[in-house]
Chains A and B, each alone.
Chain A
Amino acid sequence: DTAVSQTPKYLVTQMGNDKSIKCEQNLGHDTMYWYKQDSKKFLKIMFSYNNKELIINETVPNRFSPKSPDKAHLNLHINSLELGDSAVYFCASSLGTGEINFGPGTRLTVL
């Protein structure tokens, strides 16, 4: 009964490939997020969706495209992967303000 789940947990791929990370939350939250933790351990928001609508889009290359088929899911698709995309990606959800619940993370390694 994991609250925020994401798959896969580990992803190793070659440069130039396209990959997706899936995220689901069963908390009934309206807002979902993607955060990226880079090699310097900064946790930075990438996107936020509220009821399937994009509300936050930080300065992220347009190779990254989030898709929210319903308010319980927010998937992240990455085109033409680059070495610098290697990081841990965390999905999260919240009721809208304050505390957010994180998923376990997906460690992406681009070779």
Chain B
Amino acid sequence: DQQVKQNSPSLSVQEGRISILNCDYTNSMFDYFLWYKKYPAEGPTFLISISSIKDKNEDGRFTVFLNKSAKHLSLHIVPSQPGDSAVYFCAAVNTGTASKLTFGTGTRLQVTL
């Protein structure tokens, strides 16, 4: 029962172009969403988050969009850089309960020169 899904296991984008990573969720009780970035042999690191009361949050080159009616969020990286190559995990939580993050399976982003 995968409540958070990232249907694209991998994505390849040219340097300078936009990377769009997608995430779908099924649990309507989720009210806070996060993106984590993971390099090989390291733990995931927090990238950006969005509350369900918003539909967009921007931090530098990273923007997260939330479409609650579609239960869909996306992470946009503009412009993409080689250092962005990593696995990106989407996560969701119902902040009203014990803070258990539910993660997607990740999308491996490769930014090519």
Contact = CB atoms under 8 A, between A and B. Distances in A.
B94 to A, nearest CB: 10
Contacts of A48: 98-100
B34 A99 contact: yes
Contacts of B43: 4, 90, 92, 102-105
Nearest to B34: A99
A45 B98 CA distance: 12
Interface string A9-48: 0000000000000000000000100000000111111001
Nearest to B91: A43
Nearest to B95: A97
Interface residues of B, number: 22
A69 interface: no
B42 A31 contact: no
Interface in B20-37: 32, 34, 36
Interface string A60-95: 000000000000000000000000000000101010
B101 A45 contact: yes
A101 B103 contact: no
Interface in B28-63: 32, 34, 36, 41-46, 49
A102 B44 contact: yes
B77 interface: no
A57 to B, nearest CB: 10
Given A97-B32, A97-B93, A97-B95, A102 B103 contact: no
B106 A41 contact: yes
A49 to B, nearest CB: 11
A100 B45 CA distance: 9
Interface of A: 4, 31, 40-45, 48, 50, 55-56, 90, 92, 94, 96-105
Interface of B: 32, 34, 36, 41-46, 49, 87, 89, 93, 95, 98-103, 105-106
